[in-house]
Structure 1
Amino acid sequence: MSDKPINTSRRDAVKLMLGGFAAVPVINLVGLGTARAEDLPHVDAATNPIAQSLHYVEDANVSERNPVTKTELPGAEQFCHNCQFVQADSGTWRPCTLFPGYAVNENGWCLSWAHNPAA
């Protein structure tokens, strides 16, 4: 059996846990914890297979948006900036859950567009 009292090892464990918890905000302040939309590559509709299958376009005004399948808003009002899959509230290029690791244009559109009531 060890000569060290159990309380010492408990104190060491508590110190280690508190130090770990204190390190998390510091890491986020440094910028290592989050990816920013500006840093993400833009979706290229010509080479990205997901973009091709969803008929993604950077400018929704040149796309053929079907208002019959999307009843929340008329086709002329459907853009990435008011879609529920876009993850940022502002910016020309925003991350999208449909294109992980890529950013979409706020004025873009794809077949999976769904109205975000908060937008």
Structure 2
Amino acid sequence: MANTSRRGFLKKGMFGLAALPLGMGVLTSQSFAATLPPLSEDAPNAKALNYVKNSADAADHPAHKPDSVCENCMFWQPDTQGCTLFQGFSVEPTGWCQSWVQRPG
């Protein structure tokens, strides 16, 4: 009887391992990006870091540089269009905040 339950456990485990790549294909980064709500400029954390959806709108900020946008920032996550500073939200690739740091490379 113990062998029967162990055999069943192993069969189910092997099926689960075989199905894993199929499940991962469904959960692509695009799926996650589509579910992230856009960050509002009025959100408290966005206001704290002076986030704007268009980098040109921050041209008068002392920390702003002409070529600084979310898309070339080290905190930008291209696979989800998110930012590590604004967890759970997508940000505009052309956006900017005062924490912008040039992406290495």
Q: What is the aligned-residue RMSD (CA, Å)? A: 2.5
Aligned partner of 2:101 in structure 1 is: 114
TM-score normalized by structure 2? Answer: 0.78
Q: 1:78 to 1:33 in 2, by over 3 A?
A: closer
Partner AA of 2:49 in structure 1: L
Report the CA distance between 1:79 and its aligned residue. 0.9
TM-score normalized by structure 1? Answer: 0.71
Larger Rg: 1
Quick one: which of 16, 39, 44 aligns to 2:35? 39
Quick one: which of 74, 79, 87 aligns to 2:69? 79
Aligned partner of 1:16 in structure 2 is: 12
Matched, 1:66 2:63: yes
The structure carrying a bigger helix percent of its residues is 2
CA distance in 1, matches of 2:34, 2:5: 46
Q: Any idea what the Cα deviations from partners look like across 1:23-69, whole Å, max 9, x if unmatched?
A: 322223334887432432211112x11101010011112212516xx
Is the Cα–Cα contact under 8 Å of residues 95 and 103 in structure 1 kept in the other structure? yes
Q: Any idea what the Cα deviations from partners look like across 1:50-109, whole Å, max 9, x if unmatched?
A: 101010011112212516xxxxxxx112110011111116xxx81112112211111111
Number of equivalenced pairs: 103
% same residue = 36
Which residues of structure 2 form unaligned runs of 5+?
none
CA distance in 2, matches of 1:38, 1:108: 18
Aligned partner of 1:57 in structure 2 is: 52
Quick one: which of 7, 13, 24 aligns to 2:3? 7
Tell me whether 10-19 or 78-87 shows the greater mean CA deviation.
10-19
Which residues of structure 1 form unaligned runs of 5+?
68-74
